[in-house]
Structure 1
Amino acid sequence: MRVGQGMAALLAGGLLAATGGGCAHHARLAPELVARLDEAPGRHVTGTVTGLDEAAVLDNTDFIWGLDFSPRQRRVAYTRLGSKSYFLSIWALGSPPRKLADAAINPYESDVEGVAFSPDGGLVATASRDGAVRLFDAATGEARGVRFTEEPLSVLAFHPNGRWLVAGSTQGLLTVLSVPDLAHASEARGHAGMVSGLAFAPDGTLYSGGWDKHVRAWHAAQESATPGTARARFERRAGSAVVGGSLNGKAPVSFALDARVPVILVTSEVATAAGIDVPFLKETVDVPGALGTTAARLARSQSLRFKSLTLTGVDVAVCDACVPQGTQGVLGAPFTERVGVSFDEVSHEAVLTLEGAAPEVAAPAVEALVLSPRSDFSFPAYVSDVTVDAAGRRLGVGLSEQKPERDRAVYERERKGVEEPQGPFNAGAVVDAGSGEVLHKWPLHRGVVSTAAISPDGRSLVSGGWDKRVYLFTEGDAAAKGSYSVDWSVRRVRFSPDGQWVGVAAWTPQVASSSGESDPAAVLLGVRYAEGATVAADAAQ
């Protein structure tokens, strides 16, 4: 199935299923089912799928990286790569579809693949390779907060209660942040390498997938924690220990620890990113160095953050020449006088502890969501994606015999038109969430299966791959029930929470045209069901 020039007419007619009107809608679902879905959020279709219908193209210009549906509102969001930066596009699934926002995320150098709606649909979060989790208003796209972590991020997911979210890094770290303030709560080293999928079940169990060929289940429980201690990864450069933190919660900084320096230093680039108007700083402070003394501009009453440890009322000197090459700042004597530092050489972590004289030590205990291992499922293939059904009983897992990493060899094969082979574990799979048993597996793709999503009722699966194909499967049938093709790699597929739609995020070849339009990249497909389909409430009802 391809989207042709006639899609403009479909867009003009709108997404009929969003309102329950129009013959195209009733051809897929009976009117009484539509009415029941519209009565209250949280309901979903259950039944045997029979195919996919083209519904609407939301983007045919950009590379689309991640996509997610709102659990409670009829909205969809995706991350797209523009000419100079990444954007978060949010659409209302009305008649016709209406773009609500197109918010800038970060410069194009840092990929943004992670995107997720909060359980109430009021917020959208993104996860970026620049290490930042960002929150946006789901109706307006207005920025609501940002938190920089110490590792590049790939995926994220909200806890069902909406108070927490978990971000997965390209190096296997799972970081728990509170919502909406994005304060660091806890962390766990979940995988060896890329975290490729995160999904919460309704009971709060977290499922994570990684390129280490594992899916792990985590028990998530709220525990009391006392702020004042943080563990931050460090490395040694030119004789100094270097740790990551942030200035004013806005700018990530690589700090060298050096108690001999009488001030805390940052570069002018970092200061500007943190909201400091450097040219307007009036005070200066003398900073001694190997070539003499430098007068550095002084910014008073700033804040430094290292995960759950925050220092406020900090004076920061801005001086490019004073900062060692390869770092962006120096934690001098004012820092080491307030914070004790020890090093865990085994975990390569610096342990930062507020000294007794600091008033922050008396801060009251706070609640934090803590992850603890529950079960571990291993596979003979790389895990590229993980989703969970509405009941929390089944997982949709993307599996690939080849690591889903785009390198020069991959691009060369694509350029030459070399067809990738099929394999028993180039497949989308339905997996039992309790035991890890593979219940159904469909090895139809050629090469990497980059994504897979289970239907809300757990009976069907949609998968996408670098073979430019999207397939729809259902239990008990080895053949695909529907398919759709794009002109380059499929990045993400997702079922809508009510089961009516499949969202597709793909890259589109860049072609020269007066309009700038290319092939479909963000697409909504309607899901057809066999006679006898019904409507069920999800586990949250």
Structure 2
Amino acid sequence: MTSRWRAVLLAGGLLAGGCAHRSPLVTPDVEARLAQAPGAFLAGRTAGLEQQAVLNRLDFIWGLAFAPQGSRLAYTRLGNKSYFLSIWDLGPPPKLLADPTINPYEYDVEGVDFSPDGALVATAGRDGSVRLFDAATGALKGERRTEEPLGVVAFHPGGKWLVVGSLKGLMTVLSVPGLEYASEERGHGGPVSALAFAPDGTLYSGGWDKHVRAWRTGMEAVRPGQARVRFERRGGSAVLGGTVNGKAPVSLSLDARAPAVVLSSEAATAAGIDVPFLKETLNVPGPLGTTSARLARGQTLRFKSLELSGVDVAVCDSCVPQGSQGVLGAPFTERVDVAFDEVTQEAVLTLKSGAPEGPGAAETLVLAPRSDFTFPAFVSDVTVDARGLRLGVGLSEQKPERNREVYERERKGVDEPQGAFNAGAVVDAQSGQVLAKWPLHRGVVATAAISPDGRSLASGGWDKRVYLFTEGEDGARGEHEFDWSVRRVRFSPDGRWLGVAAWTPQVVSGDSDPAAVLFGVRYAEPTVERRR
């Protein structure tokens, strides 16, 4: 353990003989009943919060999640030059297990979730990548670059699939651990702000389009003869994103006049093509005249679920337009129809044969619309209780988008307004009815976490506050103020803990206010219940 992290642990009281996993707010009798019933959780009216451990006082903390068994916690943090994934074993005694790098600091990483067995941690970032890490060692176990910047990620309860949500409304299903493309839905008209699975596999998604949508999930045999991929206009050409040989993501210019599918030498090498050992050549016209390009036969192009095998690829740097890594020429357009949806900025690719190539249909997880709940405010967060009956929803009358105007108000100490829908709300998962809401926050409510029993709600906002509410009470049962914006609150699966992720102003001494904090949740008369 580094001296820096030892200092952080000592500052939070974690190395001073305390126990972060066994809450001092729970009696030994209740503790024993929880231990005897795996998957059980505390239920009853909450009565307050007590700070138990400070895990970080140095960084901006973005996303936070508990492992399903509750013994581990992970958060994403912004370091000096990179984002990191900090994975903790909550003890006893508490221990920082791993702190791997995720991606450069330019790309925010807010999405983080544990697999149902607790063995993997997934992250989703604005660089468009979803990554899988070993939850014990922090080793990178898988990575996939998607077409759009990502904000959220959630594992399906079965553990074999996960869903990522983009800042442009796309929800993509990927396999685990291979992160292979399975299916997708354009679920929202704007950023997908939240993804949460109920135990029965129902997926709830929230968005800045002021909707919470429920999705049935199920396995279907899919024979994909069509795919929708993002495209850009560059220099008069449409540029599509795909992969070559399942290895290299590439940007490819569409040009039916070109007599070949062409790759740059760098892209070909990344795809596993040993360019210097290619013997065959093909004459390819380019801006500098005809080039004798090396030819790699029998390669594979993939555009999400649409796969083209047996593609001959010419390797020619001078034949590739600036801003792309290859050209989709006549051999591609002879096999695939391309139509452009200018509204969604997607190219619709359809096999002319009408059936996919290669092996038969594959069983994949697909999303089907079930319900659509509309709110008079932006949806910033959605969580589900242990039985899938109630949702915790974060609502904001102002768009939860940080900009210069927001920073200027914060710098000047100007309070944001309160509003009827600047609130955390408890919502019925079947009907979408708001059962209770508490509009105490000023300005954006960034996050809302429902307790496992569905009776209490924690919310956090850009007003630097975390509140704890319980049903039947108008006021807060607990309150804590941070030094800057609160980004995420989450109950542990057993209901004993509330984890909070916040930003902290960075100071030269490194002794900033808490940013990743573990609170003990106090219950008036706790009982122990089991998931059904």
Specify which of 523, 526, 532 is matched with residue 533 of structure 1. Answer: 526
Distance in 1 of aligned mates of 2:37 and 2:337:
54
1:12 maps to what in 2? 15
Distance 1:297 1:524, change over 3 A: farther
Q: Which amino acid aligns with 2:36?
A: E
Distance in 2 of aligned mates of 1:277 and 1:108:
32
Deviation at 1:326, TM superposition (A): 3.6
2:303 maps to what in 1? 306
**3-state DSSP class of the match of 1:456?**
coil
**Segment of structure 1 superposing worse, 227-236 or 275-284:** 275-284
**Segment of structure 1 superposing worse, 454-463 or 499-508:** 499-508
2:213 maps to what in 1? 216
2:347 maps to what in 1? 350
Q: Are 2:76 and 1:79 equivalent residues in the alignment?
A: yes
Distance 1:260 1:45, change over 3 A: same
**3-state DSSP class of the match of 1:140?**
coil
Distance 1:7 1:431, change over 3 A: farther
Q: Are 2:369 and 1:376 equivalent residues in the alignment?
A: no
1:66 maps to what in 2? 63
Distance 1:184 1:16, change over 3 A: same
Distance 1:380 1:142, change over 3 A: same
Deviation at 1:451, TM superposition (A): 0.5
Contact 2:486 2:502 in 1 (8 A): yes
Deviation at 1:233, TM superposition (A): 3.1
Q: Are 2:448 and 1:448 equivalent residues in the alignment?
A: no
Distance in 2 of aligned mates of 1:326 and 1:404:
33
Aligned residues: 525
Distance in 1 of aligned mates of 2:100 and 2:147:
24
Q: Which amino acid aligns with 1:361?
A: E
Distance in 1 of aligned mates of 2:496 and 2:264:
51
What is the percentage of aligned positions where both structures have the same residue? Answer: 69
| 1:92-491 correspondence to structure 2 within 5 Å | 92-249=89-246, 251-267=248-264, 274=270, 287-293=284-290, 303-311=300-308, 321-343=318-340, 348-354=345-351, 361-491=357-487
Deviation at 1:435, TM superposition (A): 1.2
TM-score, reference length from structure 2:
0.91
Q: Are 2:520 and 1:521 equivalent residues in the alignment?
A: no
2:508 maps to what in 1? 512
Q: Which amino acid aligns with 1:327?
A: S
**Segment of structure 1 superposing worse, 426-435 or 312-321:** 312-321
1:84-124 Cα deviation digits (max 9, x unpaired): 22221111111231111222222222211111111111211
Distance in 2 of aligned mates of 1:144 and 1:56:
30
Distance in 2 of aligned mates of 1:17 and 1:522:
13
Q: Which amino acid aligns with 2:187?
A: G
5+ residue gaps in structure 1?
A: none
1:285-332 Cα deviation digits (max 9, x unpaired): 664312234566777776433111234565655655433234343223
**Segment of structure 1 superposing worse, 301-310 or 476-485:** 301-310
Q: Which amino acid aligns with 1:458?
A: G
**3-state DSSP class of the match of 1:71?**
coil
**3-state DSSP class of the match of 1:180?**
coil
Distance 1:281 1:126, change over 3 A: farther
TM-score, reference length from structure 1:
0.89
Q: Are 2:26 and 1:29 equivalent residues in the alignment?
A: yes
Q: Which amino acid aligns with 2:521?
A: V
Deviation at 1:153, TM superposition (A): 1.0
**Segment of structure 1 superposing worse, 200-209 or 227-236:** 227-236
Distance in 1 of aligned mates of 2:512 and 2:271:
38
Contact 1:126 1:133 in 2 (8 A): yes
Contact 1:281 1:297 in 2 (8 A): no
Q: Which amino acid aligns with 1:11?
A: L
Contact 1:197 1:210 in 2 (8 A): yes
Deviation at 1:159, TM superposition (A): 1.4
**3-state DSSP class of the match of 1:13?**
coil
Q: Which amino acid aligns with 2:79?
A: G
Distance 1:221 1:336, change over 3 A: same
Contact 1:494 1:504 in 2 (8 A): yes
Q: Which amino acid aligns with 1:39?
A: Q
Q: Which amino acid aligns with 2:220?
A: E
1:336-391 Cα deviation digits (max 9, x unpaired): 45544344566654333456599x62412111222122111111111100001001
